[in-house]
Structure 1
Amino acid sequence: MLLMKIENPWKQNPWFESVAVAQERARRRLPKPVYGALVAGSERGQSIADNQAAFTELGMAPHVVGATAERSQSTTVFGQQINSPVIISPTGVQAVHPDGEVAVARAAAARGTIMGLSNFASKSVEEVVATGATTFFQMYWTGDRDTMIQRMQRAHEAGSKGLIATLDWSFSMGRDWGSPEIPEKVDLKTMVRMAPQVATKVRWGMRFLKARNIPDLTAPNLAPPGGAAPTFFGAYYEWMTTPAPTWEDVAWMRETWSQISGGAPFVLKGVCRIDDALRAVDAGVAGISVSNHGGNNIDGTPAAIRMVRPIAEAVGSQIDVVMDGGVRRGSDVVKAVALGAKAVLIGRAYLWGLAANGQAGVENVIDVINGGIDSAMRGLAVSSLTELTPEHLLVPAGFDRALGADPARHLVG
């Protein structure tokens, strides 16, 4: 008797061909508050919109002949050799999938790139480093100096290869479309209250049930020695009530990390101005990320890609300059590198992949972006990232934003 396998026509192919498709699958699978937390920016959303729109203003200048048979995306950033210029940006509390940051780290290890781990993460630095991923631990300026030293020591002892200090969020949280509800903790009372929002997203809930887990809204990397991890809001309160750092504090943080780690790289994330980039060099950083915190800093901050070239021209010969904000495809990466970035960090893009298909979804996102990089490099007839220059692009007059360069002149053509 011949048995025929009948495919379920309603079963969705887990592979997706673009980050946009990953986002749509994430939207369909996630409860509305969870998805809303991923896509939201501050206030009217001007900066988050510009992060993506700015890339559309940049054109390409391809060749019709001359594509090389072999092309390499490998590069060295912050002392680490990586397979492509796409780095995992640290993002907090990845409750879109029960494996959270561990799944993302495994994907980063599989694709040979750096894993940025937030100190607001739902998984511990020890669990993440154990995946084999090259991990850079990210810290905010929170707590007193003794507390920060303890957290740096823990990250180093776990095996972190670098430290990322994020200093750019100014708590500009009002959103014209409303802020998604994030509970203090997920207990039975919370689950009952939020059940109507979760009930329509059965597959998301089933993932956590199968893993015998519930979304973890604590921050284990902020737990004191021998103590319990604070809730997300407890960690957030510590951050908001810690006095803002000075440039002397940044230099102290960099020097302290260097002493603890034996000279591992220290990266400053959130730089928008040339004068701040120059001060970062003076503080001894190994690199900076040009960023507006994914549109969650002061609304009206220019798109990160608009600020890359002026900052790279000012300090790129001294430190590594990367950028994050609005990267959705390989051509975006090529544009950033052509303007002077050594690499880009992705955030929302891989979270959508994680929501869509776990570790495989994150790998899928990285593969899609890397495929786009290769396609653009082929069209531009370059064989390595180092060959990319602004001459490969069509950059309109007034595109760049040179903040902090000259009080009388904030635009360069």
Structure 2
Amino acid sequence: MPRMSAVSELARMLVAGGLSTDPLDRAPTVADVRALAKRRLPKMAFDFVDGGAGTETTLRANVSDLAEITLQPRSLVDVSQQSLTAEVAGQRLPMPLLLAPCGLIRVVGGDGELAAVRAAGKAGLTYTISTASSWSIEEIAAEATGPLWFQLYMWRSRDVISSLLHRATEAGCGALVVTVDVVVNAKRPRDHRNGMSIPPQVTLRNAAGVVRHPFWFASLLRGPPIGFRNLEGMAEGSSAMSHQDLVNTQLANVSATWDDIAWLRRQWEGPLFIKGITTVQDALLAASVGVDGIFVSNHGGRQLDGVSSSIRALPPIVDAVGDRLDVVLDSGIRSGGDVVKAVAIGAKAAAIGRSWVWGAAAAGDRGVTHVLDIYQQEISECLTLLGCTGIAELDRSFLRLPAAWSRSRSADPHR
């Protein structure tokens, strides 16, 4: 029997015997999907997604602080009927989860963002198009079957911003998410060590990794060059430019103020969110300029290193503005239990970024769908074991927050 026929026969026997050859079937958690992505990508591509700023202190705290929150279940509660539905910005979702904006995701190979928007539509979840997407607003919208939002940076040119807003409206984006924590792009040491540039280039520092991942490299060649496709003709990278240099030299707006948000409020008729809020003071300012919601977010630990984890910042912010604004928790979410913790504190939903990117890297559309299925299953299981019948019932009585968080809040002058 020829060698390939023997391999095919073995695979058939394994499937017939109930043993799947699909790696996703052996990835029951988001951490397992991350491990699959790590194996499929060269180091420079994996680190671009996985890494953070500085010493990655905030990146680690986003995850570890969520783990410090303990759950307080209730026993002998009838949980035979359960609802995972949530509402954000007047939009009803099948679970309290959004796909956060992530840019330049064709760097993981395959279809990048297109895989995510297709999976989000299948799940009925909101996908947020990034200004920095490696596909255009129009190309992503053409693949969408679910709700779309658009993420905007407060970059230098109002003409460019106005053009993007018009395109987002035409594409059917129902809400605007304005990222305010990228005054400049922070140094991400992993990218510098790996020689990561926009578009990615093969260099002496990363050549070995590229050679070991030929299918990844071939997939990059099948699409347009990786860059800020929404800004073609306005912001172009080169082999000599790191991602940090590209943003800081061509796009960053160090003079943006809350007056610019007030201007945006006049330009955009739909729901408006501010992403990048980590203090009560800024949450109150956001409310004062008429936004509809905020993302409590530190950019996944990719901007100012050393700031509070998002989950630790969440309770006082919810207490201050939760009755006026829809609050979304972003950064550090890795499981359905994390989503439940965020909602119990007072968030309307949680936003995932790296999770869906790892799914896209691991297996394209199927990988993202698998990640979303993991979240749905884990949220449902967590509610059941908590003795909670639905998302709407969650509150802080189901949690025990670390005592140190309360002590630090009492010392906060912006509380």
Q: TM-score, normalised by structure 1?
A: 0.88
Q: Name the amino acid aligned to 1:135.
A: L
**In structure 1, which of residues 181, 195, 213 is the aligned counterpart of residue 223 of structure 2?**
213
* Matched position secondary structure for 2:351: strand
Does the CA-based 8 Å contact 1:54-1:303 persist in structure 2?
yes
Deviation of 1:186 (Å): 5.0
* 2:166 counterpart residue number: 153
Q: Name the amino acid aligned to 2:273.
A: V
* 1:144 counterpart residue number: 157
Does the CA-based 8 Å contact 2:356-2:371 persist in structure 1?
yes
In the alignment, the residues of structure 1 paired with residue 372 and residue 78 of structure 2 have an alpha-carbon distance, to the nearest angstrom, of: 23
In the alignment, the residues of structure 2 paired with residue 351 and residue 387 of structure 1 have an alpha-carbon distance, to the nearest angstrom, of: 31
In the alignment, the residues of structure 2 paired with residue 389 and residue 351 of structure 1 have an alpha-carbon distance, to the nearest angstrom, of: 30
* Matched position secondary structure for 2:392: helix
Aligned counterparts, 1:11-410, within 5 A: 11-15=21-25, 16-94=27-105, 95-131=107-143, 132-170=145-183, 171-173=185-187, 175=189, 179-186=193-200, 190=202, 194-208=206-220, 212-213=222-223, 216-223=225-232, 227=233, 230-231=236-237, 234=246, 237-240=249-252, 242-258=253-269, 264-399=270-405, 408=413
In the alignment, the residues of structure 2 paired with residue 154 and residue 406 of structure 1 have an alpha-carbon distance, to the nearest angstrom, of: 45
User: Relative to 1, partners in 2 of residues 1:124 and 1:201: Cα closer, same or farther, differing over 3 Å?
Assistant: same
Q: Name the amino acid aligned to 2:250.
A: E
Does the CA-based 8 Å contact 2:88-2:326 persist in structure 1?
yes
Residue-by-residue CA offset, 1:58-116 (whole Å, 9 max, x unaligned): 11111231141121111110221111111101011002132111110001101111101
Q: Name the amino acid aligned to 1:276.
A: D
Deviation of 1:246 (Å): 0.9
Deviation of 1:402 (Å): 7.2
Deviation of 1:185 (Å): 2.9
In the alignment, the residues of structure 1 paired with residue 286 and residue 413 of structure 2 have an alpha-carbon distance, to the nearest angstrom, of: 23
User: Relative to 1, partners in 2 of residues 1:180 and 1:253: Cα closer, same or farther, differing over 3 Å?
Assistant: farther
User: Relative to 1, partners in 2 of residues 1:305 and 1:367: Cα closer, same or farther, differing over 3 Å?
Assistant: same
* Matched position secondary structure for 1:128: helix
* 1:261 counterpart residue number: none
User: Relative to 1, partners in 2 of residues 1:186 and 1:37: Cα closer, same or farther, differing over 3 Å?
Assistant: closer
Deviation of 1:319 (Å): 1.1
In the alignment, the residues of structure 2 paired with residue 361 and residue 73 of structure 1 have an alpha-carbon distance, to the nearest angstrom, of: 22
In the alignment, the residues of structure 1 paired with residue 255 and residue 389 of structure 2 have an alpha-carbon distance, to the nearest angstrom, of: 44
Deviation of 1:37 (Å): 1.0
In the alignment, the residues of structure 2 paired with residue 351 and residue 37 of structure 1 have an alpha-carbon distance, to the nearest angstrom, of: 11
User: Relative to 1, partners in 2 of residues 1:406 and 1:277: Cα closer, same or farther, differing over 3 Å?
Assistant: farther
In the alignment, the residues of structure 1 paired with residue 381 and residue 216 of structure 2 have an alpha-carbon distance, to the nearest angstrom, of: 34
User: Relative to 1, partners in 2 of residues 1:22 and 1:406: Cα closer, same or farther, differing over 3 Å?
Assistant: same
Deviation of 1:5 (Å): 3.6
User: Relative to 1, partners in 2 of residues 1:256 and 1:177: Cα closer, same or farther, differing over 3 Å?
Assistant: closer
Q: Name the amino acid aligned to 2:321.
A: V
Identity level (%): 33
Residue-by-residue CA offset, 1:22-81 (whole Å, 9 max, x unaligned): 111111110110111111111111101100000111111112311411211111102211
User: Relative to 1, partners in 2 of residues 1:193 and 1:310: Cα closer, same or farther, differing over 3 Å?
Assistant: closer
Deviation of 1:298 (Å): 1.5
Q: TM-score, normalised by structure 2?
A: 0.88
- Any unmatched runs of 5+ in structure 2? 1-5, 15-19, 238-242
Segment drifting more, 150-159 vs 356-365: 150-159
* Matched position secondary structure for 1:321: strand
Q: Name the amino acid aligned to 2:211.
A: A
Deviating beyond 6 angstroms after TM superposition, the runs of 4 or more aligned structure 1 residues are none
